[in-house]
């Protein structure tokens, strides 16, 4: 058997056999998947299944998202909590008690979400007012993932920016005046 010597930052040849260090493997993978590469991933992302919100208080977050946004509370494995809506969910991690694996810097209030509704934005604004949730901005026209949207912005209890939008291209000024 050949004795292979691996340098910390380079690929070496020892007696005709290539010895590969971990940094060399990473560099090779990076070259294969670099921005200049014309190849694409061998798979396609279809949809978002869930995301994780790191929150200060599970109870306050669940109360807000169920009351204001009509989501439903989900309890799963080990008593973990989530908020469900449609075919999606937000898993909830309480700051300081996160589940592994977790984001590198799990921080309450660091996310900006855009949620889509079929309801007129005027009715969303009216509901926010009834729930004593201040509108930060809107209704305004924005560009969504598949085209123009009408949006209204507000904050959740952790100060995450929440945008509720629809693709029903109504005039944002008429939405605001009818609320």
Lowest mean pLDDT among 105-119, 144-158, 161-175: 161-175
Which residue has better confidence, 177 or 72?
72
- CB 147, CB 167: distance < 8 Å: yes
Residue 12: pLDDT above 50?
no
10-14, 60-64, 88-92, 153-157: the lowest-pLDDT one: 10-14
Q: Is 73 a catalytic residue?
A: no
Cα–Cα distances in Å, from 7 out to 3, 12, 21, 22, 44?
13, 7, 6, 9, 36
Given the residues 73, 98, 137, 163, select the one marked as catalytic: 163
Asked whether the whole model's pTM tops 0.95, one would answer no
Q: Residue 8's beta-bridge partner residues?
A: none
What are residue 29's phi and psi, to 5 degrees? -60, -40
The dihedral formed by the CA atoms of 128, 132, 138 and 144, expressed in degrees to the nearest 10: -50
């Amino acid at each position: 058997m050949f004795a292979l010597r691996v340098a910390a930052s380079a690929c070496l040849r020892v007696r005709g056999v290539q010895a590969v260090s971990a940094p060399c493997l990473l560099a090779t993978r990076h070259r294969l998947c670099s921005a200049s590469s014309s190849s694409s991933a061998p798979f396609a992302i279809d949809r978002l299944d869930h995301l994780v919100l790191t929150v200060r208080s599970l109870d306050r977050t669940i109360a807000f998202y169920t009351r204001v946004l009509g989501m439903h509370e989900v309890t799963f494995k080990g008593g973990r909590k989530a908020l469900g809506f449609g075919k999606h969910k937000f898993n909830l991690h309480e700051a300081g008690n996160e589940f592994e694996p977790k984001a590198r810097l799990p921080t309450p209030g660091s996310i900006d979400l855009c949620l889509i509704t079929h309801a007129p934005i005027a009715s969303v604004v009216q509901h926010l007012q009834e729930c004593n949730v201040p509108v930060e901005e809107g209704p305004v026209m924005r560009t969504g993932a598949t085209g123009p949207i009408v949006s209204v912005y507000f904050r959740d209890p952790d100060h995450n920016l929440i945008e509720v939008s629809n693709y029903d291209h109504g005039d944002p000024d008429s939405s605001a005046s009818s609320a």
